[in-house]
Chains A and B, each alone.
Chain A
């Protein structure tokens, strides 16, 4: 920065533009010794008396129009420190952003180098699958609508969702998601009444989300062979395999699936979230059907073993939710198969959902 003083004619002459811009605008000032201006001026205050400065007037008050032939008694302000503050504040913002980025990149590299904390899903043992899909009819009937359940929601007048010539049941979930973990138990049970499962694998929900480590299945490689319903599964995000927040997008959505997710979540007053289950555009599960805390601390075999006891709180929730889902699928399939859809617990759920 130049150290040319106000009125300093010994320094280099500013160019025409510079002269136009500034020095010519300065008012005449009383003679002062060569060197630094007065202290007030050097602090950037226009003269005039008050600490805030102001146009000089005969009585020293600021803000009034100057009188003609007024004598200005001090040089103009030397400089404004606010420009320095401006650049400092910009630098602070830039530095903060850079720190964010560096910390993020460093943390990502650290995370990537750590070992996997949640193991990959493994094939579900046949015994486990058969325990869950083979819940006795007496238990199903005894549980009925269960307790502590948020029933699915029904929308009428929607275009039916079909694929492969069958009603479609679309599931959008995520492997980290504890609500999905709870919901899958009921879905496995309900859908097993309409077909045969294959490819089911076991896993847990995220260890760094609510209801951490809820034991469950994953539908990532699961298929349901059914003559009645086409079950479409999307595990949209992975688990937090490498630590908190390390989930990644996994199975992509088609545009049509995204639109269904957004449209019906909105119509039912929700943001798109996990889990989302669309049963033929008739019945929807948005969010948790029951609280996953009832599964806390239980392994898959322990949960499956509880399904023999209709009064167990876990059974009440898993089977009760499954009965609602069964009734919803029956509404989509036109009551097929009759052996399932005419069961008393299904009839009860159909009535509760006003699907009949």
Chain B
């Protein structure tokens, strides 16, 4: 009996009445002491902001690439061999079903900026976390497709595109790592925790 948690007084303190998804707690170090619970207990405060900033960076580069595409301008980018933005942005892979890839990137990052707005990270609506995850996964899948096209078909890479790809990858990591803390299951768990405290 001493090994189970039956002491109400020790179970309830230290938690606000409103269980917030966000916390400044170092989740990973806490989790080392109590596996499984720490990771669903709190989301580090910096993650929503990191997600938002990354989305803004991706949005900025995508906007630039889209403007340059429609103005038919050559990107300021080395054109000395394997790094060749012009070759990439004028290749057949610069359009998908007739839509410029740069525009697709802009549309994607417009959505990411919205869904990564920090208050939306803290929102309890489970579908937001699922939608964010779905967007991040679809984004990284498209990045892999474009990377394969650059490496094996176009045989050149575009530094501006690579900037977007890196941003998308980091955002993917951030969203995927954070998802367990924000999934519908995690939210139900918190509500259950809160219920137990009341």
Contacts and interface: CB of A to CB of B under 8 A. Distances in A.
Interface of A: 1-10, 12-15, 17-32, 34, 44-48, 52-57, 62, 65-66, 68, 70, 72, 75-80, 82-83, 86-87, 89-90, 93, 96-97, 100-101, 103-104, 107, 245-246, 248-249, 252, 258-259, 261-263, 265-266, 271-273
Interface string B54-76: 00000000000000000111100
B198 A68 contact: yes
A21 B72 contact: no
Interface string B63-107: 000000001111000011100101000100000000000000000
Given A2-B32, A65-B195, A76-B192, A29 B6 contact: yes
Contacts of A20: 14, 25, 30
A23 B141 CA distance: 37
Interface in B22-60: 23, 25-27, 29-42
Contacts of A44: 36, 185
Given A24-B10, A66-B198, A77-B40, 13 more contacts: A2-B32, A7-B5, A15-B29, A17-B30, A21-B27, A21-B30, A26-B196, A27-B196, A31-B4, A46-B185, A54-B191, A80-B183, A86-B179
B191 A55 contact: yes
Given A82-B179, A86-B179, A249 B193 contact: no
B72 A76 contact: no
A273 B72 CA distance: 11
Contacts of A83: 39, 177, 180
A92 to B, nearest CB: 10
A93 B4 CA distance: 41
A261 B19 CA distance: 60
A100 B140 CA distance: 14
Contacts of B125: none
Contacts of B23: 21
Interface of B: 1-8, 10-15, 19, 23, 25-27, 29-42, 71-74, 79-81, 84, 86, 90, 137, 140, 144, 147-148, 151-155, 169, 172-173, 176-177, 179-180, 183-186, 188-189, 191-198
A54 B188 contact: yes
Given A46-B192, A271-B90, A75 B4 contact: yes
Contacts of B12: 24, 28
Q: Is the interface of A mostly helix, strand, loop or mixed?
A: loop
B177 A87 contact: yes
A112 B44 CA distance: 49
B33 A12 contact: yes
Nearest to B72: A266
Contacts of A3: 35
Given A27-B192, A79-B36, A104 B14 contact: no
Nearest to B14: A24
Contacts of A23: 33-34, 37
